Structure 1
Amino acid sequence: MGELSYADVQAAVARIAGRVREVGVVRADDIAADGGCAELFFALEFLQHTGTFKARGAQNFLLAHREAGTLPEVGVTIASGGNAGLACAWAAKEQGVPATVFLPANAPQVKVRRLRGYGADVRLVGTEYAEALAACSEFAAATGALTSHAYDHPHIAAGAGTLMIELHARIPDLDTVVVAVGGGGLFAGVAAAARQVGVRTVAVEPENCRALNAALAAGRPVDVPLDSVAADSLGARRVSEMALAAAQHHQASSVLVSDAAIVRARQLLWDDYRLAVEHAAGTALAGVLGPTGYRPRDGEKICVVLCGANTNPADLAG
C-alpha cells in the first residue's frame, strides 16, 4: 500500500464536509521548553461523533464507496468492539446501510449496547478478536458485504487526516501536532496534511505498545506485544505501511512514554481542565510532558490531539 497523499486528505475534506463535527481548539497553559516555554493547544476531538476521530474515516470510507458504486445493499461489516466498530456502525446508520459488527462474546455489554443503539447487527463470536475477525471475513465472503478496517485503509486514514486541515485553519502558525498512535490511521492522515503546510508531527506510543516505533527500528511493520494501560485503544499489533512511510519523513518523529506518565497526564487533564478522556489522550499529552517525550523549543506552538471519550471516569478522583 502506497504512501497517503495530501490530495487523498483534500478529497476526504470535500467528501465528509458537514457530516462530522469540526474540531474544537483551545489554548491551554504554557509548558516547559528548551530555552523557555512553548504554547500548548488542545484539539478536542473527543467531542467528535462516537467520541473519536474514527467517525471521520468511517464516513469517508462509506461515501467513497458510494461514489464509486461499490457500496452493496447488504452494507458494511467490521470486526471491532472498540472505537472503530462504533464509528463504522454510526457511519452506516448515517448512510442508511446495514452494519454487521463482529466481536468476542466476552466483549463489554456497554459496547454491545452502544453498537445496537446505532442500529448495528452485533454478532458475538468466540472469546478472542481473531475469532471475531475470521467470522467477519466469512460473512463478507458469503454475503458480499463491504469489509471495513479499523485503520489500515487509505480512505480511513485520509478521513482522519481531515482533522489536520481544520487545525491549520484555526492555528495557521502551528509548529507541531502531537498524536497518539495505535495502528497508525490517524498519524498517517495527519502527517500527510501536516507535511504540506510545514507542520511537524510527533507520534506518541506507550513503551510496551509500540507498533510504529518498532517498525521504524526494523524498517518494516512487525508484530509487537501489547501491554499498556492504553492498549484498549492503541493496541494494534502491527502498524500500517502508510504510517511507517509517514514516520520516515524528516518532519515526523516517534517518542515513547511510560504507563505511569500516561496515567499522570490523563489525571492532569481531569484535575486541571475537567476533561474525562481515554488513556490514548493521556498518551498524546504525556508525549510533551514526560521526560522521554518530545522536547519543544522556546516559543513553539504545539497542539496535542485529545481523542477518546469512551472511558470510565470512575478512576478519576477529585
Structure 2
Amino acid sequence: MSAVPTLAEFEDAARGLERVISHTPTLPSRALSDILGSPVVLKMENLQRTGSFKIRGAGHRLAQLTEEERAHGVVAASAGNHAQGVALAAQALGIPATIFMPLGVPVPKLLATRGYGAEVVLEGETVATSLRLAAEYAERTGAIMIHPFDHRDIVVGQGTLGLELIEDAPDVDTILVGIGGGGLIAGVAAAAKAAAAKIGRTIRVIGVQAENAAAVPPSLAAGHPVEIETHPTIADGILVARTGDVPFGMIQELVDDVVTVSDDDIARALLVLLEQAKVVVEPAGAVGVAAILAGKVADTGKTLCVLSGGNIDPLLLQRVVAHGLAASGRYLTVRIPLPDRPGQLARVSELVAEAGANVMEVMHTRHGQGLQISEVSLQLSIETRGAEHTELTLDTLRRAGYDPIVVPD
C-alpha cells in the first residue's frame, strides 16, 4: 500500500503550482440538483490551462527534477491531455520535452502539444505502444520518463485539485471523480479528506469508470491491480487497462465507492452539460455527471462533480451529440419500405409533421437487401422531443399503414 501524502505536501505543491495553473471555478447546477434531489456543484477543470487537470501533476513532477535531470530532458506518452500538461510544464521550466503520441491522436491535441514547444513523435496505433516507445527512448537517451499517473509526485500534483474543492465548497458531502489510471482520484481523495478533516468535516469520494474500461472494481476485489481487457469507449481519456501501483493503495484506503457508466450514459451527460450548463466537456470529463443521470449515485447531501477536462475533437463532439440525442430518445433513424409510386415521400413527410416531429435527413433508394422490384427504401433521420414523442411518431406512421424499422444508432 502506498503511503498517503500529507496535507502539508499537497499545500506545498499548490504553492509551487500557483504560477502554472489556474484556480478553476466551482459553479452550481440547478438541472443536476433537480435530478439528484440535493445540491450539485461542478468543478470546471475543463477550463484549466491545457484544458484538463493534467497540468497539475505534470507541473509538480517536473518541478521536483534536479538540474542534472532537467538537462537530460523529459519524455512522455499520451493521446492528449497528459501530453499537453507535460509540454506546457516543460516549456515553463525550460526543459526539453519529447512526447510520443499514437497515429490516431485527435488533431487539436496534436497541434496543441506541438504549440507548447514539445517535439512530438507520431508512432504506433495505441497509447500502450507509445508508452513502450517512450520508455525505450528514456533508456536510450537518459531522458526522464514522466508517467501519466503512476508516480507519487503526479498524485500529489493532481491532489491540489482536492484542496480547491474544499476551499470552494467546504460544505460538500460527496465528491465524484473519474478514474483512468487512478492518479487524479488518489490525489483528490487524500487531499480533500485531509482538508475536510482540518475543518471538522467528513466527506465521501466516489470514483466513476467507463464500463468498457473498468479495471478498479476487479482490482479492489483481488486486493491488487489487475490488468483487464478493455473495449472501445468514447471516454478515451480514461481508457486504461490497469490501475497504477502508486495510486491503487490510496484508492483502497480512501475511496468510498466505485461505479461504472455506459457510453450512452456519457453521451447523455455531454448533452446535458451542453444544453443546461453551457459547457463543453470531453467524454472522460463527464463521467461523474453520467453517474448522476444514470442513477448510480444516491442523494447523499451536497455533491461536487469534477469536470476533469474539455479537450474534445469537434468531429467527435458532433458524433457524440448525435449519439446523446439518440440515447435520450430525441433523435430517431427509421427505414421504411414503400411502394414505388409518386407521392409516397410527401405522404410520409406529412405524417411526421402531423406527429410534431422534424425530418433532419432523407435517403431514398431503390437498391437494398430484401426490397422487391416494385419497392423503394426510405430512410429518415427525425428529431423528436423524447422517448414518448418518438413512440407517438412511430405509431402515427404505423396507423397510416407503414412499417417503420428503427435503425440502431
TM-score (norm. length: structure 1): 0.91
Residue type at the aligned position of 2:297: Y
- Note the C-alpha offset of 1:183: 0.6
Q: Paired residue for 2:151? A: 153
Aligned pair 1:49/2:53, yes or no? no
Tell me the CA shift for residue 215 of structure 1.
1.0
Contact 2:54 2:82 in 1 (8 A): yes
Counterpart secondary structure, 1:166: helix
Q: Is the 8 A contact 1:152 1:185 kept in 2?
A: yes
Amino acid aligned to 2:237: S
Q: Is the 8 A contact 2:102 2:124 kept in 1?
A: yes
How far apart are the structure 1 equivalents of 2:128 and 2:35?
A: 43
**Does the 8 Å CA contact 2:100/2:130 hold for their aligned counterparts?**
yes
Cα gap change, 1:32/1:114 in structure 2, threshold over 3 Å: closer, same or farther? closer
User: Contact between 2:235 and 2:263, CA under 8 Å: does it hold in 1?
Assistant: no
Which residue does 2:162 correspond to in 1?
A: 164
Count how many residue pairs are aligned between Structure 1 and Structure 2: 310
Counterpart residue type for residue 9 of structure 1: F
1:11-38 Cα shifts (integer Å, max 9, x gaps): 31122123200021001112445xxx21
Asked if the contact 2:182/2:251 (under 8 Å) is kept, the reply is no
Q: Who is 1:245 aligned against?
A: 249
Residue 208 of structure 1: SS of its match in structure 2? helix
Q: Structure 2 CA distance, aligned partners of 1:150 and 1:73?
A: 21
Does the Cα contact within 8 Å between 1:206 and 1:228 map onto a contact in 2? no
Which of 240, 249, 269 is residue 273 of structure 2 equivalent to? 269
The structure 1 residue matched to 2:263, chosen from 259, 266, 270, is 259
Counterpart in the other structure of 2:112:
114
Unaligned runs of 5+ in 1: none
CA contact (8 A) 2:62 2:90 kept: yes
| 1:3 equivalent in alignment to 2:6 | no
Residue 183 of structure 1 pairs with residue 181 of structure 2: yes
Aligned residues of 1:264 and 1:282 also touching (Cα < 8 A): no
Does residue 1:305 correspond to 2:306, yes or no? yes
Matched residue, 1:209:
213
Deviations 1:88-124 (Å, cap 9, x if unpaired)?
A: 1111111111110112334344333222111111112
1:76 to 2:79 alignment: no
Please give the alpha-carbon distance, in whole angstroms, between the structure 1 residues aligned to 2:255 and 2:180: 19
Instruction: Give yes or no for the alignment of 1:17 onto 2:15.
Output: no
For 1:22, what is the secondary structure of its paired residue?
coil
Label 1:251 to 1:232 Cα distance change in 2 as closer, same or farther (>3 A): closer
* Deviation of 1:135 (Å): 2.4
Q: Could you tell me how far apart the structure 1 residues matched to 2:80 and 2:128 are?
A: 14
With over 3 angstroms needed to count, the CA separation of the structure-2 counterparts of 1:227 and 1:19, relative to structure 1, is same
AA partner of residue 50 (structure 1): T
- Which position in structure 2 is the counterpart of 1:59? 59
* Misfit runs of 4+, over 4 Å: none
Aligned residue for 2:156, secondary structure, equals helix
Unaligned runs of 5+ in 2: 197-201, 326-409
Contact 2:99 2:121 in 1 (8 A): yes
Bigger RCO of structures 1 and 2 (CA < 8 A, at least 6 apart):
1
Superposition deviation, residue 280 in structure 1: 1.4
1:217 is matched by which residue type in structure 2? A
Distance between the aligned counterparts of 1:183 and 1:147, measured in 2?
A: 16
Task: Tell whether the 8 Å contact from 2:189 to 2:254 is kept in structure 1 after alignment.
Answer: no
What is the percentage of aligned positions where both structures have the same residue? Answer: 34
Residues 209-263 of structure 1: per-residue CA shift (max 9 Å, x gap)? 1011221122110111222433410111101234332332366211112221111
The structure with the largest alpha-carbon Rg is 2
Give the 3-state SS of the residue equivalent to 2:41 in structure 1: strand
Change (3 A) 1:106 1:285: closer
Specify the code of the residue in structure 2 equivalent to 1:20.
I
Amino acid at match of 1:28: S
Match of 2:234 in 1: 230
The 5 A counterparts of 1:22-37 are 22-29=23-30, 30-33=33-36, 37=37
Task: Give the distance between the partners of 1:31 and 1:217, measured in 2 at CA.
Answer: 34
Once residues 55 and 261 of structure 1 are traced to their aligned partners in structure 2, the CA distance between those partners, rounded to angstroms, is: 27
Task: After TM superposition, give the deviation of residue 129 of structure 1 in Å.
Answer: 3.1
1:147 Cα deviation (Å)?
A: 0.7
Q: Matched residue of 2:207: which SS?
A: strand
CA distance in 2, matches of 1:211, 1:85: 23
- Aligned mate of 1:281, from 267, 280, 285: 285
